[in-house]
Structure 1
């Protein structure tokens, strides 16, 4: 049945849309799927490693108990179930990030350009701070060509300024917007900008020993591409989207090994009998096993009377102004001796991930920790619903959520100050793009992007935003 002609107002087009059948996303980028890829295998690995293995490989006694591992497993089930139920019950939004497939929304394109230049300002300030601290291009070239960056000197020289150099994190928002735009049509300029942001992230991740800088721009792009591939009319693309973890997991290991070669391997190659591939595999497993172990240490030693929540709201305490005032130290009770330098006393500071699942239980207790993850599940479920439906808020924010799901065994990514610039920008873009707009005075930014076609058959033209 043809849709009725849309009613017209002066200078504006009112879009009439028919109910859309709900579609899901590819299984492994859903909240349950992402958690299932990482948590069970890392929990099983940690449970199987005994105290001797911990001491031999990670120079730390094994402290995590079976009860704590069970708590982590139950918590992840609660988080996944809450997200899944919320996503299934949430209503579909009426607005779409991209209304007409193949037509680039003008507002989204303009927002993408603004995000790119904000990112460039952030990196300019980032490297300017490094130069003021004595960083020279020769130091970077030497570290790259010698493949030796274990000392951490470059990282110290690139110590950022809160609220200023964090503008580099706007790059996360840019790559998400750019990926959606490039899926609608080719744009060499935009593709070059995307590649340049990836290059800067790669450079930063190497010289500052900050692998996460590369991960947090890569994962959202992959998530958006997988959703698009899973809905392709081509069977091969749909199969590739479903089976992508079989390829991405080995690539992840190779990337991790490449970074470890220039970091820890330069120190340990004369102190171990293991080959480099085995060493890299042990290190990769250790980042997860020691995270669960550190979570146990924090559960035992960190809670004390008068302590205020810390890592669960880390973005607040590290915000510009609040961090400089030392507000947490002023408001929270002083830590007793047993809670100071926990990893130095009972673990290994080299593996310092606190464990993301246990963090809210340290901050809020048993009941508060479960409530925290229930609330997280509700928010994640709503964003996932919006993501698969194509609503602006969900489509832009959920790809970042997946980064946190994959990193949850190691630490609580979503509450870190580093995500705030990207989240603020993406929310602003979602609100900007989602506003109703008239068709007048809305030219496309590039001639090569065609204007919306006239109504043909039962298709109704939508306004270019």
Structure 2
């Protein structure tokens, strides 16, 4: 696997320099930048962020060196494919319930796709506990794309062909995800499904000779930054480009770069402002265990009562010191607010350790690594916005991972049927 795909490589080679670059950009007086509220982020807070990233890198480097006791890895086979099929069908069902009003009305669907009509987000009905299952989609893509791009032991691709049904399901879920991004205005959903692709391409490139493979191995995420900024700018285009603030005053790339820098600078500044103007640690786990506070069926209330959590306090902080429109608390300083400095360092080390172990398992082609490492990777990408692993969508994704692990072992072919297939068809 390339250097940039490991937790230590991401933390030291990408996130750390990017944090200082974002902080520098936030100090530049340029019409493309939109910095609101009290600017608190300074060298001291940046050094604290660097300390937490160093803890993440240290844990990741250690975890990547740990050797599992599971023995030699075996190629993913029939069990993993059937688990992917089951998870994919769950996601399709969730999407079908979520967007049923559009999917069952061809005229309305065409009006949306042609741009003649854009539904308001509040008008789209949610079914709690069911529509959220759309967040297991990255689990399907983790399995499917790994199998699809697995270079194999001899560099000739996977020994066991993928079922045709998975190809069709991948197309359907890709279209539904794109529809979700457009209708629900949720760009993160597309990124969550693209992370498994980036990791699978990185593993494939590591086994490829030639200039293309070398470029992917060396450049890694830096080569993708222009695409990320383009995607970010395109997502902001309809919402902000048409306003008098930007239209006719900036070209598109100035607009996209300015919005990108403003977005992440504000997230870091919000987190630093929270620590500078609030008492911490709170031990309410407002950010690191948000999903547990929001657990359905009354399961979250006992935990909230135990920790003294009476509802989100961060919004009030934004009203007082910053701007409620820009409401990301950062995934670095929010952890310090919850756990204190020592607790945050331990937290980052633990996340690094687990992600390092998952990275090694992914690199070796183990099922647990294929399923787990993409969610850690997306948490690194969201590090400057909020603690992704504490969100409700990450919890649903994790539930999908657990379900896939169980299904991959339950749905293994029987010895009689396995004897008619290749040895690689047996699922570890």
Query: TM-score, normalization: structure 1?
Result: 0.79
- Work out whether 1:113 is the aligned partner of 2:56: no
Paired residues of 2:280 and 2:340 also in contact (CA < 8 A):
no
Q: 1:171: which partner in 2?
A: 137
Alignment counterpart, residue 193 of structure 2, candidates 212, 217, 227: 217
- Work out whether 1:45 is the aligned partner of 2:22: yes
- Work out whether 1:451 is the aligned partner of 2:426: no
Alignment counterpart, residue 353 of structure 2, candidates 357, 375, 378: 378
Relative distance call for 1:321 and 1:52 in structure 2 (3 A) is farther
Relative distance call for 1:333 and 1:78 in structure 2 (3 A) is closer
Give the number of equivalent residue pairs: 415
Paired residues of 2:180 and 2:189 also in contact (CA < 8 A):
yes
Paired residues of 1:51 and 1:62 also in contact (CA < 8 A):
no
Q: 2:321: which partner in 1?
A: 346
List aligned pairs for 1:30-429, cutoff 5 A: 30-35=6-11, 36-47=13-24, 49-50=26-27, 57-91=34-68, 93-94=70-71, 96=73, 98=75, 105-128=77-100, 145-146=114-115, 154-158=120-124, 160-183=126-149, 184=158, 185=161, 187-232=163-208, 234-236=209-211, 238-242=213-217, 243-245=219-221, 247-268=223-244, 273-303=249-279, 308-322=284-298, 325=301, 328=304, 332=308, 341-429=316-404
SS of the aligned residue for 2:70 comes to coil
Q: How far is the alpha carbon of 1:407 from its aligned partner?
A: 1.4
Q: Distance in 2 between matches of 1:256 and 1:147?
A: 23
Residues 247-269 of structure 1: CA deviation (Å, up to 9, x unaligned): 42222222112111122223355
Q: How far is the alpha carbon of 1:86 from its aligned partner?
A: 2.2
Q: Which runs of 5+ in 1 are unaligned?
A: 1-24, 100-104, 445-449, 453-460
Q: Distance in 2 between matches of 1:369 and 1:177?
A: 32
Flag the structure with larger Rg. 1
Relative distance call for 1:142 and 1:379 in structure 2 (3 A) is same
Relative distance call for 1:463 and 1:115 in structure 2 (3 A) is closer
Q: Distance in 2 between matches of 1:307 and 1:386?
A: 33
Relative distance call for 1:348 and 1:176 in structure 2 (3 A) is same
RMSD: 3.4
Q: How far is the alpha carbon of 1:181 from its aligned partner?
A: 3.0
Residues 263-297 of structure 1: CA deviation (Å, up to 9, x unaligned): 22233556772223211110011121011101012
SS of the aligned residue for 2:292 comes to helix
Paired residues of 2:26 and 2:35 also in contact (CA < 8 A):
no
Q: Which runs of 5+ in 2 are unaligned?
A: 150-157
Relative distance call for 1:207 and 1:361 in structure 2 (3 A) is same
Residues 140-184 of structure 1: CA deviation (Å, up to 9, x unaligned): 7666555997xxx62222363442211101111111111133233
Q: Distance in 1 between matches of 2:47 and 2:164?
A: 50
Q: Distance in 2 between matches of 1:140 and 1:298?
A: 43
SS of the aligned residue for 2:385 comes to coil
SS of the aligned residue for 2:353 comes to helix
Q: Distance in 1 between matches of 2:124 and 2:411?
A: 43
Residues 376-395 of structure 1: CA deviation (Å, up to 9, x unaligned): 11111111121112222112
